[in-house]
A and B are shown apart, each in its own frame.
Chain A
Amino acid sequence: MPWILIIQNLRAHKMRTLLTVGSLAVAVFLLCFLKTVLVSLEAGVAASATNRLIVQSAVSLFVDLPHNYQPKIEAVSGVAQVCKLQWFGAYYKEPSNFFAQFGVDTDRLQDTYPEVKLLDGSWEAFRTSRTACLIGVGLSRKFGFKLGSRIPLIGTIFPRSDGTPWEFTVAGIYESKSANVDNSTLWFDFKYLDESLRSGAAEGPIGVGVFTLRVQPGIDPTRVASDIDALFDGGPLRVQTTTEAEFQRQFVTMLGGVPMLLNSIGGGVLFAIVLAVLNTMLLSFRQRFHEIGVMKALGFTDGVAFGVLLIESLVICGSGGFVGVAASALTADTFAAAMSQILPTFQITASTVASGFGLAMLIGLMAGLFPAWQALRLECIEALRAEV
């Protein structure tokens, strides 16, 4: 293959080559971004632990369960440990500064979620102080909270009766080793919330949002789940016990048409870019009409004429793909920080990178084939006769 010819062609039309590489890079970047959003939406489901079950109300995500369900659930055979979780729904300064907060059993959190690792602070401090909290490393980066910082939170579901914000002191900063627990959560003592509600210092429903439980090793989680459901089937409040994956999936399902929307945007991007590259390659072929005739007259085979155009297309798309993938990998952290509220698990994966690059090469193949095939079929005499 006359490589020098291919390189010279690309260099002869620097502007065109650069613009095509640029538009391809932009498209690949966008596709990687959309794919990352889709993958991240599912990340929580994919990373869920198989030995954890969630007990929630069968009626609604917003109906609390009574405290006294905890010992009953614990008594079911195969259950290792049960931890309370209550969604707090408060905000820091402005409603737009939203992040997840949960009231939990402080002495059980570590065993229930072994993927939560402390980077700073201690479990001991978290367990002993009533107003202590653990925060994710993402929150610490975003808001600058440090060990010992006091975080005022304005209650929405649970406002304090005197109208003041709740205040929590950071006793530890964690990092999660798995995507099912995000790094933007604040955990605090369930007892603090419960006592405030009972004493009238705060208002809101008294109860437990969900119970998270660990199943003993070697026990079938499905059997445990149906045993728990059966326990409360007669009411007054029926429960629905699911694996952590199913629990996470309900939030993905809630998005309704969003994944489909993102997919169709991706389709539109793909369509536009295939047309753009095809346009470039056709222009390239048209301008080289004469040249191909000369090549053939000099004795280069049809195969070489075919190869030159196809490889040109692949080189353009390969470099565009490379730039696009590199750009999305380099900006991933910025996007992750910007979207930490809506998509705390935003993270670009190796398979996204690979598919982005693969797609670019596929576009190169598709856009290069037609002009290359025309070059292959071109009659030497006809090409030489043509005016440029």
Chain B
Amino acid sequence: MGFEVLLKGNNAARLLGGLLAALRISLVSVVISIILGVLLGVLVTLRRPVITAIYRIYLETVRIMPQLVLLFIVFFGSTKALGLNLSAESASIIVFSFWGTAEMADLVRGSLAAIPVIQYESAASLGFDQVQTYRYIIVPQIVRRMIPLSINLITRMIKTTSLVMMIGIVEVLKVGQQIIEANRKSSPNAAFGVFATVFILYFLACFPISRFAGYLEKKWEN
């Protein structure tokens, strides 16, 4: 059925290497997204009209533009418009961070908005000052709400990185195609085995993470 191709030479190792390339891009993008997203989310809760307006436009752009379109714009458009020669990898990190930051900021904004005013008032009446209120009351609650959702963002980021093959990054699907091409004669059915393996690999990468997020969500729900 074409699985035998993976046992030849270092094909299995190459396929895993391709997956790691995709995982590396998603990891970098997630870290950038979380940092920028938290900053932006907090900034938006200040309710300055200009910030809010820009934020709404940014959010709606990310909501309706497919990531692949953004990837094309940054990768092909930047060369043409700005004369920059971005590598495919930096283009994809820029796009995924742009997308992830919006998602993350909205999560932060949503969780901050979900904390009832009574929490602030109670803290104040108990003699907490502004900093203490955030330090001991608000932030711990936000973090509990945020962590499962941020972990979900990681799995979505991993799934989205499969798109980078479309702008020429050699990741797991591309390596799969190369293996199939190279063994066209000796194992004509390689496409089934290789793509089934890629399917399972992605599942193995994402399933434990989303299970963990679900577990934390259950554990911390009150």
State whether these chains interact.
no
Residues in A lying within 8 Å of B, measured CB to CB: none
Residues in B lying within 8 Å of A, measured CB to CB: none
